[in-house]
Amino acid sequence: MSLEGLPKPENLHIDFEAPQTDWMETPTTFRSGTFSFPAAPKNIKYMGMANPREWSPTEEDWKLPDNWRQIILDGLKERLEKFRSFRLFMDICVRCGACADKCHFFLGGGDPKNMPVLRAELLRSVYRKDYTLAGKILGRMVGARDLDLKVLKEWFYYFYQCTECRRCSLYCPYGIDTAEITMIGRELLNLVGLNINWVQEPVANCFRTGNHLGIPPHGLIDMWEFCVDDIENVTGIRVDLPVNRKGAEILMVTPSGDYFADPGTYTFMGYLMLFHELGLDYTWSTYASEGGNFGLFTSHETIKRLNAKIYAEAKRLGVKWILGGECGHMWRVIHQYMDTMNGPADFLEVPKSPFTGTVFENARSSKMVHITEFTSDLIKHGKLNLDPSRNDKVIATYHDSCNTARAAGLLDEPRYVIKAVCNNFYEMPENTIREETFCCGGGAGLGNDENIEMRMRGGFPRANAVNYVRDEHGVNRLLCMCAIDRATLTALMHYWAPDVEVGGIHELVANALIMKGEDERKTDLRGEPLPGMEDMEEEEDV
Amino acid sequence: MNPWYSVLISLFIVIGLVLIALIGVGSIGLNSLFGVYIPYVAFAVFIIGFIWRVVEWARAPVPFKIPTTGGQGKSLPWMKHEKLDSPFTTGQVIVRMLLEVFLFRSLFRNVKGELRGGPRLTFASSKWLWLFGILFHYSFLTIVLRHLRFFTEPVPQWVQLISSLDGFFEILVPTFFLTDAAFLLAATLLFLRRVVIPQVRYISLPNDYFPLLLILGIGISGILMRQVFHVDLEKVKELAIGLAAFSPTVPKELGSVFYVHLFLVSVLAAYIPWSKIMHAAGVFMSPTRNMANNNRAVRHINPWNYPVKVHTYEEYEDDFRAKMKEVGLPVDKE
Ligand code: HEM
Ligand code: SF4
Ligand code: SF4
């Protein structure tokens, strides 16, 4: 991440004033720092998708197939027939503007085409031209326009400037979900080979190796064992690491961000410690080593192609049910798409906690439970021995991921867990949390280095709320349960709120967890001295 | 399109429509065209078009269950479930929908983001659009229902009740209906909002201004008939009942204003199915609102779910078998 090129936060120019020119006349400029680089041909080729080639958005020639226009229009027609959501959202917007200032990209950038309603109009205008009588006859008068290269380029710019967070859909009187329109818009762009590498590379990697980073099975073992070593250093306990083990009761699937880089790794260590302490009969999988699914940012078909592994692996290993780690967009796929796409999972059993006997009725069909559902149930039943004072240096607030909040309603489970393991917890202002939460600015594949200015702008409303609790309550830790967040919020805090660290929930669970036979803990999982242990640390250093 | 141009062009169209009716009836005397044929055609277009559009939506499948959740979903038994914002059962979905349709609940959530120096953002609840919207829709609804008194003999009790409640405050003689005032006010406010708020002005099209101006035209012509020109309501009723019974007679001496009013209503009726006013029907079909957040408990079927190319475990093991064995991972095929 490079924040060097950016102006200081106080000098970042934001202006809600609309330009003088009508939006259809306002040209799209690909300004450095505000767009993502195209997908490398090999990543498109590997997935067997359209038009792999080298190209650049800033060049005139995008090397499109000659009949690109027909491809898109045919694709549009097909999707109008396949998705009631899409067809309806094309027809019923009244342009009331209720969604306009709900999008973090508009709030942090002021570009009117980042108002959800205009983002949708970019596509709607083409729909009107080709699929409505009024549009055919009256054209511009009724907001219809031809699909030409300028329009296509505009789509690419703005559909890759939407993080599919669904905040707009919460406020729309008809529930028009611009995320759904963006998803379809990206699907159309993919038909002619317009996609970004930060999405397409994880997609290709995940397809081949099972995870976004392209780590082969032996590499995973290395990484995971490294975490086991770290845990031993902190606790003196060498935790189990069951991998690809047939006959386990539970398959655990988490986003690769959890084990790839700090601060995700601490959360990963948290799972290992929790499961070890419980004596959970479970296994990791190298084949299904990714809970995340960048297909969500590509096309519905790609979601399904990548998601298929989870049930397939559960079946192969013969587990009873599946547990999912801390991730946002993963949870949308698991909650809203998996069962429909790759179910029914009739070879699995209705999830039941082996320790509390709780049957997870809400996962009766899909057979997959979220880790905070699992852990909050354990805590409620007093199954964990916890010492929250070990987290006393942490003054925490919690960021709801867009997808767990607005596409699942998973809001109170994480809060329940956090409050049980951490004594200092402060909510950010209402209107910025729970279902009204603001995006980190880098979801949906936009959390890449080259897009840094847009990320910092898009993350501004979130950071602004963090700053508020930092100043009011001295908050120094931004908790989240999302692997993308842990990466993007870290950069965001660097820029907007430098003294706030980012971390996961199960990191704090593991810090607080008193394990049988553990050494006296001197440090937390990050290797920082626990409260009251600072002196001992120094003594050792001497 | 330049916003002023959009407003002007919409205004000219509405004025044009008024002139057509005035000239058509006043100068050329095409009373039965404007009194009978056009209303019939318009009404037919409305009914057929409306159904057509709804059927068109209904024919498109709903491949995925994608409710937008606005609160805690149903989870562990001891965790408080927000039944309205994250409905789990069909009953809860219905209540959520009723509140959307009758109270515009999502619009009620509206908060306005304000940019301050620093930069800093603040949010304040903003219910203006909700208020104007509620005022507009309910006065519109009341007025439409009140019109039933022209089409029925005897007038049903509940229609009379609406009229009498509405005219409760007898300000002028003849009764100045409270809803008439509310209606004109709300439509004007909605219009002003569109012109005044820069972002809303920026997104508005002629087809956003036109229906509002048309509706204002209907309202104004209606009030003029009542308060200024004193149109003979008995004659209006004669025509209306005739139309409803499919044996229309065109009474003489019905003033031109009445025909203006009727013509504008006809245009609105015929326009609705092809316009954004179809949101009235669409809102009921919106998948982010009318589906239950019970995705993991009740499987949703996608009618066009098709097999896709996946990377199977066997292929994966083939790619990595040697390495897997090296680190002691079990393999299916030696
Ligand atoms: C859930 C139900 C409904 C909601 C939330 C809703 C909301 C709205 C909103 C926000 C506007 C925009 C005003 C503007 O800024 O222009 C509007 C306009 C309008 N609505 Fe509704 N509406 C609903 C149902 C209906 C129904 C049942 C009708 C009956 C015909 C209707 C007719 C209209 C008309 C005529 C306009 C004004 C014309 C226009 O601006 O296009 N609406 N509605
Ligand atoms: S809130 Fe909904 S209806 Fe209003 S402008 Fe936005 S998308 Fe359109
Ligand atoms: S989904 Fe989120 S990012 Fe996309 S338009 Fe809506 S508010 Fe903006």
State how far residue A385 is from chain B, nearest Cα, in angstroms: 21
Q: Which of residues 97-126 of B touch A (CB under 8 A)?
A: 100, 104, 106-107, 109-113, 115, 118-121, 123
Query: For residue B180, what pLDDT is reported?
Result: 87
Would you say residue B334 lies in a domain? no
What is the distance between the alpha carbons of residues A101 and A110, in angstroms, rounded to a whole number?
9
Among A117, A409, A410, select the one facing B203 at the smallest CB separation: A117
Q: Consecutive sets of 10 residues in chain A, 542 residues long: mean pLDDT of each?
A: 79 86 92 96 97 96 97 98 97 96 95 97 96 90 94 98 97 97 98 97 96 95 96 96 97 95 95 98 97 97 98 98 96 98 96 97 98 98 97 97 97 98 97 96 94 96 96 97 92 94 98 96 95 68 44
What is the distance between the alpha carbons of residues A457 and A322, in angstroms, rounded to a whole number?
37
DSSP string covering B148-189: HHHH-SSPPHHHHHHHHHHTTS--SSS---HHHHHHHHHHHH
Higher model confidence: residue B54 or residue B166? B54
Query: For residue A2, what pLDDT is reported?
Result: 66
Number of domains in chain B: 1
Residue A528, token pair as written in the block: 């920082």
Query: For residue A85, what pLDDT is reported?
Result: 97
Residues in chain B: 334
Do the beta carbons of residue A301 and residue A231 sit within 8 Å? no
Alpha-carbon distances, residue B203 vs B188, B198, B229 (angstroms): 18, 9, 39
Would you say residue B181 lies in a domain? yes
Question: Does B320 contact chain A (CB < 8 Å)?
Answer: yes
Task: Kindly give the distance from the C-alpha atom of residue A480 to the centroid of ligand 3, in angstroms, as a whole number.
Answer: 20
Chain-chain contact of B324 with A107 (C-beta, under 8 angstroms): no
* A162 Cβ below 6 A of ligand 3: yes
Predicted ipTM of the assembly: 0.94
Residues 6+ apart with CB under 8 A from A14: A108, A109, A110, A457, A460, B115, B119
What is the distance between the alpha carbons of residues A287 and B11, in angstroms, rounded to a whole number?
64
What is the distance between the alpha carbons of residues A479 and A474, in angstroms, rounded to a whole number?
14
Do the beta carbons of residue B58 and residue B257 sit within 8 Å? no
CATH number where B41 lies: 1.20.950.20
pLDDT of B29 > 80? The answer is: no
Would you say residue B331 lies in a domain? no
In words, the CATH class of domain A23-195 is: mainly alpha
What is the distance between the alpha carbons of residues A91 and A135, in angstroms, rounded to a whole number?
12
State how far residue B227 is from chain A, nearest Cα, in angstroms: 33
Residue A28, token pair as written in the block: 């799209």
Residue A13, token pair as written in the block: 């120019």
Task: Kindly give the distance from the C-alpha atom of residue B313 to the centroid of ligand 3, in angstroms, as a whole number.
Answer: 36
What is the distance between the alpha carbons of residues B299 and A340, in angstroms, rounded to a whole number?
6
Q: Which of residues 136-195 of B touch A (CB under 8 A)?
A: none
Domain ranges of chain A: 23-195, 202-512
Chain-chain contact of B79 with A416 (C-beta, under 8 angstroms): yes
Would you say residue B143 lies in a domain? yes
Q: Which domain holds residue B71?
A: 3-326
- Stretch among A112-116, A352-356, B76-80, B234-238 having the lowest mean pLDDT: B234-238
What is the distance between the alpha carbons of residues B38 and B19, in angstroms, rounded to a whole number?
15
Query: For residue B167, what pLDDT is reported?
Result: 64
Q: What is the mean pLDDT of residues B17-25?
A: 93
Residue A343 DSSP label: -
Asked if the peptide bond before residue B119 counts as cis, ω within 30 degrees of 0, the response is yes
Binning chain B into helix, strand and coil, the percentages to the nearest 5 are 65, 5, 35
DSSP string covering A441-489: S-TTTT-SGGGHHHHHHHTHHHHHHHHHHHHHH---EEEES-HHHHHHH
Question: Does B215 contact chain A (CB < 8 Å)?
Answer: no
* A178 Cβ below 6 A of ligand 3: yes
User: CA angle at residue A38 from A34 to A40, to 5 degrees?
Assistant: 150
Tell me the three state secondary structure of residue B232. Answer: coil
Task: Kindly give the distance from the C-alpha atom of residue A446 to the centroid of ligand 3, in angstroms, as a whole number.
Answer: 13
Residues from chain A contacting residue B69 (CB–CB below 8 Å): 405-409, 435
Do the beta carbons of residue B86 and residue B73 sit within 8 Å? yes
Closest protein CA for atom 8 of ligand 1:
B133
Average pLDDT of chain B, as a whole number: 92
Q: Which of residues 7-36 of A touch B (CB under 8 A)?
A: 9-10, 12, 14, 16-18, 22-24
DSSP string covering A96-128: --TTGGG-HHHHHH--GGGSHHHHHHHHHHHHH
Would you say residue B85 lies in a domain? yes
pLDDT of B176 > 80? The answer is: no
State how far residue B22 is from chain A, nearest Cα, in angstroms: 26
Chain-chain contact of B295 with A177 (C-beta, under 8 angstroms): no
The residue whose CB lies within 8 Å of the most ligand 2 atoms, and thus the one to mutate among A174, A178, A181, A182, is A174
The residue whose CB lies within 8 Å of the most ligand 1 atoms, and thus the one to mutate among B107, B277, B278, B283, is B277
